[in-house]
Amino acid sequence: MARHQDPQPDTVLFEFVYQGAFVRVSAIDPQTNTEVRMVGDPNLSRESLKAAALRKLIWVMRRDGKLR
């Protein structure tokens, strides 16, 4: 199923897993079941990490043709 517009941060599910010197962030679009993961600096704010994960999610969805 393709979306007609970019997913908004309040509709995306985020998961943060802190592991020592890094944090793994997962972003999931529940409408298309698209998931991305990224690794970030644990000293960054959650909002910065969310924004980066959301940008990656949108990029992957466009690449895979899930956004029109």
Q: Is residue 19 one of the residues assigned to a domain?
A: yes
Q: Is residue 1 one of the residues assigned to a domain?
A: no
State both tokens at 41: 């600096």
Say yes or no to pLDDT of 2 above 80: no
Q: Is residue 68 one of the residues assigned to a domain?
A: no
Say yes or no to pLDDT of 3 above 80: no
CB-based contacts of 15, cutoff 8 Å, min separation 6: 25, 26, 28
For residue 20, give the DSSP letter: T
Say yes or no to pLDDT of 1 above 80: no
Write out the residue range of the structural domain in which residue 28 sits. Answer: 9-63
pLDDT of 8-58, one tens digit each?
889 999 999 999 999 999 999 999 999 999 999 999 999 999 999 999 999
Q: Is residue 3 one of the residues assigned to a domain?
A: no
Q: Which residue has the tokens 């690449």?
A: 63
Contact 25, 46 (CB under 8 A): no
Q: Is residue 32 one of the residues assigned to a domain?
A: yes
Question: In this predicted structure, what is the pLDDT of residue 5?
Answer: 86
Tell me how many domains the chain contains.
Answer: 1
- Overall pTM surpassing 0.85 (yes/no): yes
Q: Is residue 4 one of the residues assigned to a domain?
A: no
